[in-house]
Amino acid sequence: MTQEIFEITENRLIARDIYRLHLLGSTAAMSAQGQFVNIRLDGKFLRRPISVCCYDHESVTLIYKTVGAGTRQLAAMRAGEKLDMLVGLGNGFDVSKSGTSPLLIGGGVGAAPMYGLCRELVAQGKSVIVALGFNSAEESYYIDEFASAGAQVLLATVDGSAGVRGFVTKAMEALEYSYFYACGPMPMLEAVNSAVNTDGQFSFEERMGCGFGACMGCSCKTLTGSKRICRDGPVLEKGEILWPTHE
Amino acid sequence: MADTRVNLAGLDLDNPVIPASGTFGFGHEFSELYDLNILGSIALKGTTREPRFGNPTPRIAECTAGMINSVGLQNPGIEHVIAHELPELSKVFHKKVIANIGGFSVEEFTYCCALADRQEQIGIIELNISCPNLHCGGMNFAAAPDSAREVVTAVRKVTTKPLFVKLSPNVTDITEIARACENAGADGICLINTLLGMRIDLRRQKPVIANKMGGFSGPAIFPVALRAVYQVYEAVSVPLIGVGGISGAEDVIEMMLAGASAVEVGAANLVQPYVCKDIIESLPHVMDSYGIGSLREIIGKAH
């Protein structure tokens, strides 16, 4: 982890309540797709943890949803403004386990970290399938970007306005894949857990204090002991997860 | 050159800046950011006899100029701390540490303190009798003079190390609790622990925190902590550690003018991970700007 000042180069609405934020700054501390940053906002005490969509050596792209006063304040910021961020947080996805044809499952704003992961796996020569779930067509984003990155894209919307009607698990039916990676709201992750037939990894959310493992604010119980979502996660392996309904 | 050295019940510190218990873990995360040896000392994560997972999540809520936590003393237990955390910390931090001991019974406090007493690395035992997250409604041993006296008297018998008692602000008169601790043999008082607080989620129309209430900390509580230090300084003769909302060198000086011999920096570490380093580096310059030559000479000077 490092604390860095980034400069906003773009902060744009790309779907309903969904923004893409492009920033220039040092990404030397980032080591894996699926990590997150923690953003300081004027007048807000706690930083805002936002997962990384993708990054290169000098820039990072974040996709976030406006859900409260903090993210609305972030959405009002313009190109040229600066952001104080802690970067390189969390473990990120382990790409070494993907096998030859991994399935990437993203729901809502949880689709964002799948994009960087998709590009990395395609670059490794993997045959990547992406299953995306959104509430509606107007909340969907990055469908073309995933396709351009070289993935086979499957789409589901709850209202049926794009892709198949239903949850993301509907789009996954009868698929064959070597491994899976999933990120999205908790009910989706539980449904995915019931639907998948291989090993895989899930990325979780929790209210955080620090974001770097000091405060124990985001601990969860797993089969391999208690873990801090911010530091030992946010990515956990399927085999170690204790789902809330089974506790 | 400004002299930042202080003495805390016999323990010499290079400066009065100590990360507060529960905001610094066992130092590991911060040792990746800066050399911990610049710190006066470190107050370790609150430790109990048994390992504890703590409270259900969500454990964190944001407030204006602060936060609420309901971690509930998650820790690996005293045996693990002694066998693993202290040796690990000794590789990167070469000064004495402050062990923060929590508990649910007098017997648990004495058990842990007797073990802590045998650790060379521990310079001070900080008795956390004021965690608001353990009992319904925030009741604890710091809620009344009699219960505070009982636990301090018992612990005093099992340790010769300097014993500081961390007090709760959630009481009618903090000075009578402090006096009870001093009379029972405490070598110092640490104040304040968090204020019992809560937030409600407008969408769910339920408390944000799973445990409903939690400990409110951050810059918002600095005036409350300062007031408590000021009051207790007049009530007891043992040294005080001031803690609550400190986030800059000016706050350190203000707290020492109120009567603190040293300070602990808490919630600020979680949002500005370099805050203790920044405070230590800026302290001499801020002292100069106020014509302060030695921090030891300003303790309680506001009285």
Q: Chains A and B: how many Cβ contacts under 8 Å?
A: 88
Asked, for residue A246, whether it belongs to a domain, the answer is: no
Which of residues A35, A60, A89 is at a domain's end? A89
**ipTM (interface predicted TM):** 0.93
Q: Is the pLDDT confidence value at B167 over 60? A: yes
- A199 & A103 share domain: yes
Q: How far apart are CA A165 and CA B128, in angstroms?
A: 55
> The CATH number of the domain where A45 resides is what?
2.40.30.10
pLDDT digits (tens, 9 = 90+) for A108-166: 999 999 999 999 999 999 999 999 999 999 999 999 999 999 999 999 999 999 999 99
Asked, for residue A129, whether it belongs to a domain, the answer is: yes
pLDDT digits (tens, 9 = 90+) for A166-193: 999 999 988 999 999 999 999 999 999 9
| Mean pLDDT, chain A, whole residue set | 96
Residue pair B210/B58 in contact (Cβ under 8 Å)? The answer is yes
- A85 & A144 share domain: no
Report CB contact under 8 Å: A46, B60.
Answer: yes
Which residues make Cβ contacts (< 8 Å) with residue B135, sequence separation at least 6? none
pLDDT digits (tens, 9 = 90+) for A27-54: 999 999 999 999 999 999 999 999 999 9
- A29 & A63 share domain: yes
Asked, for residue A230, whether it belongs to a domain, the answer is: no
Q: Is the pLDDT confidence value at B1 over 90? A: no
Residue pair B252/B246 in contact (Cβ under 8 Å)? The answer is yes
Which of residues A30, A56, A89 is at a domain's end? A89
Chain A residue with the nearest C-alpha to that of B65: A45
- Nearest CA of chain A to the CA of B65: how many Å? 5
Question: What's the pLDDT at B139?
Answer: 56
Confidence bin at B136 (pLDDT 50/70/90)? very low
> The CATH number of the domain where A177 resides is what?
3.40.50.80
Question: What's the pLDDT at B138?
Answer: 44
- A12 & A85 share domain: yes
Q: Is the pLDDT confidence value at B73 over 90? A: yes
Question: What's the pLDDT at B132?
Answer: 65
What percent of chain A shows pLDDT beyond 90?
A: 97
- A46 & A106 share domain: no
| B271 contacts chain A (CB < 8 A) | yes
Q: Tell me if residue B112 is catalytic.
A: no
Question: What's the pLDDT at A6?
Answer: 98
* DSSP character at residue B9: T
- A75 & A106 share domain: no
Which residues make Cβ contacts (< 8 Å) with residue B231, sequence separation at least 6? B174, B175
- A197 & A103 share domain: yes
Ordered structural domains, chain B, with CATH: 6-298 (3.20.20.70)
Question: What's the pLDDT at B135?
Answer: 55
Residue type at B42? I
Catalytic residue among B63, B112, B113, B131: B131
- A105 & A67 share domain: no
Q: How far apart are CA A134 and CA A141, in angstroms?
A: 9
Q: Stretch B107-116: mean pLDDT, rounded?
A: 96
For residue B230, give both structure tokens.
């000021």
Confidence bin at B143 (pLDDT 50/70/90)? confident
| A73 contacts chain B (CB < 8 A) | no
| B30 contacts chain A (CB < 8 A) | yes
Q: Is the pLDDT confidence value at B282 over 80? A: yes
Output the pTM of the full model: 0.94
Q: How far apart are CA A35 and CA B5, in angstroms?
A: 41
- Cβ neighbour number for residue B2 with a 10 Å cutoff: 15
Residue A104's domain comprises: 99-203
Number of domains composing chain A: 2
List of chain B residues whose C-beta atoms are within 8 Å of the C-beta of residue A217: 57, 59-60, 69, 71
Question: What's the pLDDT at A247?
Answer: 47
